[in-house]
Amino acid sequence: MDRTSRAAVFDVDGTLVDSNHLHITAWWEAFRQAGHRVAMHDIHRAVGRPSSDLVAHLLGEDRDKDQDSDISAGHKALYGTFSDRLPAMEGARQLLLTLADSGWTVVLATSAGGAELSALRRAIGADEAIGATASADDVEKGKPAPDPIEHALVLAGVPAERAVFVGDTVWDMLAATRAHVRCVGLLCGGIPRSDLVEAGAAAVYDHPADLLARLDEGPFAEVARRADAD
């Protein structure tokens, strides 16, 4: 493990790609088709968890678990109809390119996998900057467990103190904190600043373009200075 290198680890949905509200609508309709009334507000707060965890979180342990796979499949099918039109967040591509050009290893850590992840990467349009991807297919437990972040660190070959994680949900902040990684919250996913800070965000910015304009301050500047000094 190279202790002088540094990694920028990113969530994708709601952080780099403007997809959270599409997920909310697709989940709402999937639940409705299965006979469940689930408020969009509650779904929004659960977005960022793996599909199986999200269903359990929203319907509870006393639900009919035989419906889980059908609800998840319904969400996937509904969401997939828009996958070729996903918009990147303002400044997302340039942020990843700038970090890679500045010596950061860029790693995506996301609950998405397979075709969904491919569509997200196409939307960002910065494959040349992405060094590795830790997807839902690679770990036993998703966020808020630290597993995705820890796997991203292994892929980047850096210790936790040489990494910064960027995400938009409470689950992102909890996962990074449990992995002992400094975390940055973005407001573009729709979660309030206070919730992100309470969950562990060391700094909060509006969107990727805002973070890009302020890379010379906050966690990224701190980790870079520490790495350069070693």
Domain ranges in the chain?
6-19+86-229, 20-84
Q: Residue 1's pLDDT is what?
A: 43
Q: Residue 154's pLDDT is what?
A: 97
Q: Which CATH number fits domain 20-84: 1.10.1740, 3.10.290, 1.10.150, 3.30.1950?
A: 1.10.150
Taking only the tens place, the pLDDT of each residue in 20-69 is: 999 999 999 999 999 999 999 999 999 999 899 999 999 999 999 999 99
Looking at 3-7, 95-99, 165-169, which range is the least confident one? Answer: 3-7
SS (H, E, C) the chain: CCCCCEEEEECCECCCECCHHHHHHHHHHHHHHCCCCCCHHHHHHHECECHHHHHHHHHCCCCCHHHHHHHHHHHHHHHHCCHHHCCECCCHHHHHHHHHHCCEEEEEECCCCHHHHHHHHHHHCCHHHEEEEECHHHCCCCCCCCHHHHHHHHHHCCCHHHEEEEECCHHHHHHHHHCCCEEEEEHHHCCCHHHHHHCCCCEEECCHHHHHHCCCCHHHHHHHHHHHHC
> Contact, 209 vs 145, CB < 8 A?
no
* Six token digits for residue 209: 């373009």
Q: Could you give the CA distance from residue 191 to residue 223 in angstroms, rounded to a whole number?
A: 25
* Six token digits for residue 38: 């689930």
pLDDT at 230 over 80: no
> Contact, 149 vs 174, CB < 8 A?
no
Closest CA to 55 of 74, 33, 71, 44: 71
pLDDT at 165 over 50: yes
Place of tokens 């790693």: 107
Taking only the tens place, the pLDDT of each residue in 169-228 is: 999 999 999 999 999 999 999 999 999 999 999 999 999 999 999 999 999 999 999 888
pLDDT band at 3 (very low <50, low <70, confident <90, very high): very low
Closest CA to 35 of 57, 64, 61, 56: 64
Superfamily for the 6-19+86-229 domain? HAD superfamily/HAD-like (3.40.50.1000)
pLDDT at 160 over 80: yes
* Six token digits for residue 55: 């269903």
Q: Residue 209's pLDDT is what?
A: 98
Taking only the tens place, the pLDDT of each residue in 94-152 is: 999 999 999 999 999 998 888 889 999 999 999 999 999 998 778 888 899 999 999 99
Q: Residue 112's pLDDT is what?
A: 84
Q: Could you give the CA distance from residue 30 to residue 193 in angstroms, rounded to a whole number?
A: 29
Q: What angle do CA 205, 176, 161 make, to 5 degrees?
A: 95
**What angle do the packed helices 20-33 and 51-59 form, to 10 degrees?**
60
pLDDT band at 4 (very low <50, low <70, confident <90, very high): low
Place of tokens 């297919």: 137
